[in-house]
Amino acid sequence: MLVGGILRTKKAILNLAFSMALQFFTAISGFILPILFINTYGSTINGLVSSIKQIISYLNLVEAGVAAAASQALYSPLANKDTHRINGILSATRQFYIRSGGLFALMTIILACVYPFIIGDDVPNYLVAILVIVLGSSGVAEYYLIGKYRVLISADQKSYVLCIVQIIGLILNTITSIILMLMGFSVVTVLIASSLIYILRVFLLIAYVTRKYPKINFNTKPDILAIDKRWDAFIHQIVNMIVFNSPIIILTVFSTLADVSVYSIYLMVFSIITAFVTAFSNGLIAGFGEVLATKETKTVSNGYRLFEYIYYSVTVWIYMVAFGMILPFIRLYTQGIMDADYVQPLLAYMFVLVFLINNLRVPALTIIYAAGHFKETKFSAIVEAAISIIISIVCVQMWGIVGVLIGSACAAIYRIIDIILYANKHILYRPPVKSLVYIMFNLVIGILGYLLFASLFSLNSNNWFEWIMDSFVLCIGCFILIFIGNFLLDRSSFKDILKRINSIFRKVD
């Protein structure tokens, strides 16, 4: 939104506003449903469902990078309004999604037959099989019905449309799930209802695309060569799956379902935090991609400078607040649950470390994906996955959940260094010093801010009102220090951002 020519003002405002709205509703739903789910069905069932979801997310590898490659291929024809090329790319995308959907459905059925024997005797085999089928059904719908529309809308910088559809589905799902659980319906019934609501999104997307893109035709001659980067994008997709989903799989194999449930609760909290932090960056990939396609190199460089300037400061600010308030939150959130130990200080701090590092690499990844440099960066992605898997499997034997997070932290540290160096050298054509200075400066200011306010105020909240007030004090305190610090660090970028904001509001008026 603040990166000048990279974003078209109206789209930028809509993308940011509805992305933030989606994260708000996701947070509300994310806080309500898991605890109600655990209280209704227990930590073991919650751990089982979390485990199945992660396994199914691995099955999404059959998508083979089509979405990323197709979106990148669409930037140029969309910018040039080349309907013929757009239709060719979308037709190829549709073909690949149909093939992927068939393979996904087959693998889901195989998983339903095999997974009950991996779980053991904690849950009846038939229930495990049913849950796999139910949770996998929404994935089948994604491939056969939704995927091609999502690619088009995202590439055209209209992510706000997808956000609106998701918000509607999320609200319906939350309300329906709460009612069904309170009425005593089984876990299978609740998850079936959720899957059906997810599938209903397709009707809203079809109506929108039909109205806004009357010349779009998904059945023309497919332009297969246009998405030839899909296999390199596929490597990145595999790595993301491994890095972010393997911890639950490793815990399922080497630990207990109760540990999986504990991990999933922390993961839920930090996934919501991450979603808020990266809300405005998600829409920038298409914006950067459009400008890169039109060879506006100076615009990209200036836009990226402002993007990382504000992104790093916001990220550190939010995670310093999370560092101080995560344990009181978990203690209050899981109060009364006795079948697993959810309040673990070292675990909480390790989650902050891992997710902070992963979030700090977002600007570099954004520009890499927008430029379509999948092949050039796939080796480092593979190394990251190897580090994560090997260290996690070794350390989980000794330290359980914390051991898995040690593996994730080591992999994240390696990757953030690698991609910052690559993005600056090969896409932005500048030294990486400025990026590293922004990161280190904000980390130092953020840590000092946390230590200062933690020493002045007790952050050991005893109830939700105290937690909200403590969070507010820490939030405002850290924000002021980071705000002033970044102003002193780079006044030029600070003033440019204010000019962008002023320009946007003038255009909106």
Residue 3 has a pLDDT of 44
Residue 5 has a pLDDT of 45
Q: What are the structural domain ranges in the chain?
A: 4-508
Residue 2 has a pLDDT of 42
What are the helix (H) ranges across 257-361?
257-277, 279-282, 284-293, 297-333, 345-360
Q: What is the mean pLDDT of residues 249-274?
A: 86
Q: Which amino acid is at 82?
A: D
Torsion of CA 260, 261, 267, 268, to 10 degrees: 150
Residue 68: which residues within 8 A CB-CB, separation 6 or more? 229, 230, 233, 236, 237, 369, 374
Question: What does the pLDDT look like over 379-434, one tens digit per residue?
Answer: 898 999 999 999 999 999 889 899 999 999 999 999 999 999 999 998 888 889 98
Residue 373: which residues within 8 A CB-CB, separation 6 or more? 422, 426, 427
Q: Is there a contact between 7 and 291 (Cβ–Cβ < 8 Å)?
A: no
pLDDT over 60 at 4, yes or no: no
Residue 388 has a pLDDT of 93
Question: What does the pLDDT look like over 307-319, one tens digit per residue?
Answer: 888 889 989 999 9
Residue 7 has a pLDDT of 45
DSSP-based helix, strand, coil % in the chain, nearest 5: 85, 0, 15
Structure tokens at 390: 């090997």
This prediction's pTM:
0.73
Question: What does the pLDDT look like over 93-118, one tens digit per residue?
Answer: 888 888 888 888 888 899 889 888 87
Q: What is the mean pLDDT of residues 87-92?
A: 87
Q: What is the mean pLDDT of residues 338-345?
A: 85
- Of the ranges 93-102, 129-138, 366-375, which is most confident? 129-138
Q: Find the range with the poorest average confidence among 156-170, 219-233, 428-442, 466-480.
A: 219-233
Residue 283 has a pLDDT of 56
